[in-house]
Structure 1
Amino acid sequence: MDSIAGTAHDRWAFQDHEILKRCGVETAREAFRWHLIERGAGLYDWSSARGQVQGALEAGVEVIWDICHWGLPEGLDVMDRDWPRRLADFAVACARMLEQEGAPAAGLVPVNEIAFWAWAGGETGRFAPFLVGQGDMLKAQLVRGHLTAVDALRDAGVRAPIVLCEPLIWIAPQDESERAVRDASRYRAAALDSVAAILDADPSAVDMLGLNHYPHNQWVLGGPRIAADDVNYRRLSLLLGDVLKRFPVPLALAETGAEEPDGDAWLAYVTEELKAAQRADIFLEGVCIYPVMDYAGWDNERHCPCGLIGRDGETRFVRPGQRDAIRALSSLLRVSAGRT
């Protein structure tokens, strides 16, 4: 699926970013569509990206760019031996293109959600490369891709911050048995072991760890989703503390939000949890409402209303509750930015 085309953002990028800017959002996440850009090994057609780049630039919004958000050029298998090098070459080409357009990146995400892609594409066969029971193998390949891309970017003199975006989850054991508790703990740790692998290989390969956290990111191992009023539910502020103890790097929420009619309540919860985190001396670099605009669902292409920008066809409108929640979050983040 091409959600950028599906939302007509490729044609309305300026208007979309102008809405963000009016609501106080001056930094956004976007993705290069690798599958459209690389026509052959090292042959790049930037026509699909220029509208996005110039739209943000003209609106005065800086962008953190995803280099590989799961999509690949035709004929390139993520498990190919040369995939990490192809990714690295593309990453450098993207950075050069942004410099030429006068819009240097606010950050670069070499590979989006390594842990999720490894599960969906390597363990369960839901995503390309449609492998089953080989999640660790795919995860290792994606980690190699990240490290190879970072090395190439630094060798090319690209100094944009490197952002690693990974899911933030909580999994409770099925019961209180020693085995169940151990299995749940191992599963939770594995969700961020790609971060550990990258930092162990090169501590400079991550400038900021972005955590993706949604209402559905907590469940019982092998069982149902955990509701917010369940005794097993772990508050976001505590989850952030868990991560900071394991990885002492700058943190952000790289994706968060909820589908309507729950969007405002979820962002109110996030705001309160960030206040609690700050009281515990945990400060975030940013919060990304994601998706920020209605889109077509992955599984059935239904209209998914979410985020700040609602859509009626190609007509855009602002959800006042989301706008007000974003302003409240912005005030909190200013506290983070001004801390000593």
Structure 2
Amino acid sequence: MPGHIPPAAFESFFMAGFECSSHRRIDGHRLDLVRATSHDIHAADDYRRCAELGLRTIRDGLRWHLIESAPSVYDWSSWVFMLEAARTAGVQVIWDVFHYGSPDYLDQGSERMIESYASFAGEAVRLHRAMTGKAAMVCPINEISFFAWAVEVGYFPPAGPKRKGWFKRHLVKMAVKGIEAMREADPECRFIWAEPLIHIAPRDRSGPEMRRAENARQGQFEAYDMLMGRIAPELGGAEDLIDVVGLNFYPHNQWYLQGPTIPMGHHEYRPLSEMLVEVARRYSKPLYIAETGAEGSAGPAWLHYVCDEVRDAIGQGAPIEGICLYPITAYPGWDNSRHAEVGLFSVIHAGGSRRIRQLVADELARQQRLFSDILNARDLAVPDTRTGG
């Protein structure tokens, strides 16, 4: 039915995600992580190497600021190159339509921004169908919650009035209009989201402090609740705007209210499995880990932890459809271009290739084996509606 994606719609349980942020920093500098990681010219080889390691579903993104540098004038060449690379490699891509970076001619807090985004999104899925013969799988707007927070606290440039919650509502309105335009262009396109999964603990056990911490923790659900029309229905949200709930989870995603990060192993650190089961019960939709990873030598151990917790959550009935290693390549940090050693692959070295981070690859292979039996058993337990089985 429209708006529904069946279980196992992804071509692989383990996925790869390419860092594709393209926003302007508060100092005005434009980031372009697709270019900075050389993914813009090595996409075909990047996708091929992912597929060889069993990562046949990819998260990647369009660079809106390159495609529409003037109003309604589209140059799709940067994306066409990547569409062709994906087709050659035989991988499935979930495309971020808007990953923070918009054209310079637009004020991100304006009504014109909503209209321009909707037009751009509609044209994108129309081109995807024309080039691939398939409906697009898209993340309409990456991390609405983080995006809104970054604007409100001044980490990203300001947009719109300085009213708490205003920009998040604005982004939800934008997403709703974009989905309307994408469905009009191709009714079969699917919407796979990505929002932070967090935990916030109180600094002490006083009643007021515990209530403040819980209220702050519940804020992580606002974007999804708005998109589904469960709150602020005037924004146009509806349950069928979300096919798969995506959750981004990193080592720094748990902290004390207005305090430091909670280290793993601390009594206040909440098990990821509990968090996943809570989301599964809240939304009753397929979900996946849309982003996860850790820097340096912590990478293999972090993947081990996340996979153990996902297996636990699946055992409790959570319909988890995948885990995306993100970013899959090393990249220069947003704030100061420092070298961030993450994922499976290095930067491009002399000779035009990336080195593999073998310890991460070994842990990935081990986890793929561990998940194989679990996923096969789960698939066998799903009735085949085509035969009435």
Normalised to the residue count of structure 1, the TM-score between the two structures is 0.95
Q: How many residues align?
A: 339
Alignment-derived partner of residue 234 in structure 2: none
> 2:296 corresponds to which letter in structure 1?
E
Structure 1 residue 326: Cα displacement: 2.9
C-alpha distance after superposition, 1:158-213 (max 9, x if no partner): 31210121000000011101111111111111112010011012111000110000
Alignment-derived partner of residue 187 in structure 1: 216
Alignment of 1:291 with 2:327, yes or no, is yes
> What root-mean-square deviation, in Å, do the aligned CA atoms of Structure 1 and Structure 2 show?
1.7
Go from structure 1 to structure 2 and tell me whether the alpha carbon gap of 1:148 and 1:238 turns closer, same or farther (over 3 Å shift).
same
* Consecutive unaligned residues in structure 2, runs of 5 or more: 1-30, 230-236, 383-389
Structure 1 residue 328: Cα displacement: 4.1
Alignment counterpart, residue 56 of structure 1, candidates 86, 93, 98? 86
Alignment-derived partner of residue 113 in structure 1: 143
Q: Comparing both chains, which one has the higher relative contact order based on Cα–Cα distances under 8 Å and sequence gaps of 6 or more?
A: 2
Alignment-derived partner of residue 225 in structure 1: 261
| Cα distance in 2 for residues equivalent to 1:125 and 1:43 | 30
Q: Identify which range, 146-155 or 62-71, moves more after superposition.
A: 146-155
Alignment of 1:207 with 2:243, yes or no, is yes
C-alpha distance after superposition, 1:47-78 (max 9, x if no partner): 12122211111111110000000000111112
Structure 1 residue 85: Cα displacement: 2.0
Alignment of 1:198 with 2:227, yes or no, is yes
Alignment-derived partner of residue 6 in structure 2: none
C-alpha distance after superposition, 1:240-292 (max 9, x if no partner): 01112221111100000111111000000011111211221113111110000
| Cα distance in 1 for residues equivalent to 2:161 and 2:343 | 33
Go from structure 1 to structure 2 and tell me whether the alpha carbon gap of 1:330 and 1:143 turns closer, same or farther (over 3 Å shift).
farther
Alignment-derived partner of residue 263 in structure 1: 299
Alignment of 1:316 with 2:354, yes or no, is yes
| Cα distance in 2 for residues equivalent to 1:63 and 1:75 | 29
Structure 1 residue 339: Cα displacement: 4.2
Alignment of 1:174 with 2:212, yes or no, is no
Alignment-derived partner of residue 7 in structure 1: 37
| Cα distance in 1 for residues equivalent to 2:354 and 2:133 | 25
> 2:62 corresponds to which letter in structure 1?
F
Alignment counterpart, residue 181 of structure 2, candidates 144, 152, 163? 152
Normalised to the residue count of structure 2, the TM-score between the two structures is 0.83
1:44-83 matched pairs, under 5 angstroms:
44-83=74-113
> 1:238 corresponds to which letter in structure 2?
E
> Is the CA contact (8 Å cut-off) linking 1:9 and 1:52 kept in structure 2?
no
Structure 1 residue 89: Cα displacement: 1.1
| Cα distance in 2 for residues equivalent to 1:105 and 1:323 | 31
C-alpha distance after superposition, 1:68-94 (max 9, x if no partner): 000001111121112222111111111
| Cα distance in 2 for residues equivalent to 1:141 and 1:235 | 33
> Is the CA contact (8 Å cut-off) linking 1:208 and 1:252 kept in structure 2?
yes
Identity of aligned residues (%): 36
> 1:14 corresponds to which letter in structure 2?
A
| Cα distance in 1 for residues equivalent to 2:214 and 2:328 | 32
> 1:320 corresponds to which letter in structure 2?
Q
Go from structure 1 to structure 2 and tell me whether the alpha carbon gap of 1:149 and 1:337 turns closer, same or farther (over 3 Å shift).
farther
